[in-house]
Chain A
Amino acid sequence: MINFSFQKPTSITDAVTALSKSEDGLFLAGGQTLIPVLKQRLAMPCDIIDLGDINDLKGIVAKKHSVLIGATTTHSEVEASPVVREHIPALAELAGHIGDPHVRNLGTLGGSLANNDPSADYPAAVLGLGATIHTNQRSISSDEFFVGLFQTALDPGEMIVRVEFPIPEKSGYAKFPNPASRYAIVGVFVSSFSGSVRVSVTGAESCVFRQVSFEEALAEHFAIDALTDFAVPSDRFNSDLHASAEYRAQLVRVMACRAIIMIDEEKKQ
């Protein structure tokens, strides 16, 4: 393991100051991405600033039209949260299928978004619900936040503080998981807000994106048969040992249909 010095500030201001004083420091949240990255020497920061003791980054609160989730809230906490289960059950389900229980006990919402892995689950929910990312400096809409492969709109030293998820009328998420890691080979999040529909896709391209053709079709007719005739173009899609681009294109449609079926089943309960 590389050498670094470790700090555990207790306020957002102290953490941001510590990072600004460091030449190449990094925030540490759950460490479920960053610690493997440090072991592989893909990053070699002199300073690690642990966000684990900052109370202002924790917790889940419901407002009238949205649910606010603190950046260091773990995947397990979101999975188990009665507030999330009541207002956005698809988000709790999504969190409960990230990796494995041990990863979920440490990994956090903020860490997942800052990392913006092309196969990660949370970016699909954030983009698919049109959430807002509140940082220590400003608020960023989900449409602007995810910029490219492992790239976000965050400036150097900027910290995700909490994420505001609008409460949809209905939403669902389905992923075809990589059997080893559980990352999404393709994952599709579908949500509906009084007639307007959002559909986001993770795992297929270098960065999460909106499938606008599905959104338009579903806005007219919110049912799986609205998607039957759609061929999804695969030219920009990833192709690797897990799945070809064409297979991923097929999965985008199938996962969108499964997400809608989940919504229908939930309504019946």
Chain B
Amino acid sequence: MTRVSLEVNGKKTSIDIPDNTLLSTFLREHLNLKGTHIGCDTSQCGACVVIVNGKTVKSCTMLALQAAGSRVETVESLCDDGKLHPMQRAFHEYHALQCGFCTPGMLMTAVALAKKGKEIDELSVRTELEGNLCRCTGYQNIVAAILAGAKKMRTQT
């Protein structure tokens, strides 16, 4: 057991965990943040993507102790007091999910992309989604939602 101290969704956390705890397990089991999904557990699907110090990572492929001292953001951070984040609203409006299993990873990847502040187009969105698999939608609506959500995020800040 080792004590891990880090910030998750703006809240400082410090708990003892077994050394071999994955960041995904830490978030889901230790902090009960079940929004982060485990799709494959083999580093392929991106359902488990969270943002660590501003960068997207597959939380099933990082140890919680590697993230000690970091700022972690999960899908739970997006909703503000019951009000959906612009990217979540865009996913809703554009019907960018069916079963919803890939959605947390898609949303975190999309928000991180939009926050880079660069102009984005369909190609850059599709390129950025290389590590996020969706077995339902065929991606079309996800790409449309991300373009719309990113535009909303820009106009709101």
Residues of B within 8 A of A5 (CB): 19
Known A39-B42, A52-B66, A105-B55: A100·B61 in contact at CB below 8 Å? no
Residues of B within 8 A of A180 (CB): 44
A-B CB contact pairs (8 Å), 9 listed = A28-B63, A35-B43, A48-B19, A50-B65, A52-B66, A99-B131, A100-B131, A105-B56, A106-B58
Q: Closest CB-CB distance, B43 to chain A, in whole Å?
A: 5
Q: 1/0 per residue A91-133: CB within 8 Å of B?
A: 0000000011111011000000000000000000000000000
Query: What is the size category of the interface that chain B forms with chain A?
Result: 20 to 34
Is there an interface contact between A50 and B66, defined as CB atoms closer than 8 Å?
A: yes
Residues of A within 8 A of B20 (CB): 1-4, 6, 38
A interface vs B, CB < 8 Å? Answer: 1-6, 8, 28, 31-32, 35-36, 38-39, 48, 50, 52, 76, 99-103, 105-106, 180-182
Is there an interface contact between A103 and B58, defined as CB atoms closer than 8 Å?
A: yes
Interface centre among B18, B19, B63, B131 (most CB of A within 10 A): B63
Given A48-B63, A100-B130, A101-B128, output 15 extra A-B contacts at Cβ < 8 Å. Answer: A1-B20, A1-B21, A2-B20, A6-B2, A8-B65, A31-B66, A32-B43, A35-B63, A39-B41, A50-B65, A99-B130, A99-B131, A101-B109, A101-B130, A102-B109
Q: How far is the CA of A60 from the CA of B19 in the complex (A)?
A: 31
Task: State the main secondary structure of chain B at its contact with A.
Answer: mixed
Tell yes or no: B148 within 8 A of A by CB. no
Q: 1/0 per residue B26-57: CB within 8 Å of A?
A: 00000000000000011110100100000111
Known A4-B19, A6-B19, A39-B41: A101·B131 in contact at CB below 8 Å? yes
Is there an interface contact between B18 and A103, defined as CB atoms closer than 8 Å?
A: no
Q: Closest CB-CB distance, A86 to chain B, in whole Å?
A: 20
Q: How far is the CA of A23 from the CA of B56 in the complex (A)?
A: 34
B interface vs A, CB < 8 Å? Answer: 2, 18-22, 41-44, 46, 49, 55-58, 61-63, 65-66, 68, 109, 128, 130-132
Give which listed residue, B43, B65, B109, contacts A6 with CB less than 8 A.
B65
Is there an interface contact between A31 and B62, defined as CB atoms closer than 8 Å?
A: yes
Q: How far is the CA of A36 from the CA of B60 in the complex (A)?
A: 9
Residues of B within 8 A of A8 (CB): 65-66, 68
Residues of B within 8 A of A32 (CB): 43, 61
Is there an interface contact between A35 and B62, defined as CB atoms closer than 8 Å?
A: yes
Give which listed residue, B19, B61, B63, B132, contacts A36 with CB less than 8 A.
B61
Q: How far is the CA of A256 from the CA of B50 in the complex (A)?
A: 38
Residues of B within 8 A of A2 (CB): 20
Is there an interface contact between A106 and B18, defined as CB atoms closer than 8 Å?
A: no
Q: Closest CB-CB distance, A106 to chain B, in whole Å?
A: 6
Q: How far is the CA of A2 from the CA of B21 in the complex (A)?
A: 10
The 6 residue pairs across chains A and B that have the minimum distance between CB atoms:
A100-B131, A100-B130, A6-B19, A105-B55, A102-B131, A1-B20
Nearest chain-A residue to B55 (Cβ)? A105
Q: Closest CB-CB distance, A100 to chain B, in whole Å?
A: 3
Q: How far is the CA of A258 from the CA of B61 in the complex (A)?
A: 34
Q: Closest CB-CB distance, A54 to chain B, in whole Å?
A: 13
Is there an interface contact between B49 and A36, defined as CB atoms closer than 8 Å?
A: no
Residues of A within 8 A of B22 (CB): 1, 35
Residues of B within 8 A of A1 (CB): 20-22
Known A100-B130, A101-B130, A102-B131: A36·B42 in contact at CB below 8 Å? yes
